[in-house]
Structure 1
């Protein structure tokens, strides 16, 4: 059976660093970056990319719809 791999793309200029995606991720893939965007917010990024399954839990909870999840069979 093929295992799903995922990739999370965050629109860093729209992200306001609310941490909801980080809490919703069952695989602990996302973390807040130490750098800030133009508005001064720490934005989400894939800290553990190899663990992502593409479940899209992060995208479902994002209040600003700034997360896109891609799923690929590997």
Structure 2
């Protein structure tokens, strides 16, 4: 019997952060929070979520911030 298993990314969700300043370029209201789950699958059927990748991206300067780099203002807005 052959088993096909592994991990695969789920659907990405994007949410704008209103009134939050980008620490790099100091523009207000340009940050977006992007969340993407990673699922364990068996025969291409997602069974359970393994982890969720979450980061912020500025649409002005294109700088990305991982969860460990979030400022206090970003964490409060989430």
TM-score of the pair, normalised by structure 2: 0.33
Q: Which has the larger radius of gyration?
A: 2
TM-score by length of 1: 0.34
The higher relative CO (CA closer than 8 Å, separation ≥ 6) is in: 1
More helix by share: 1
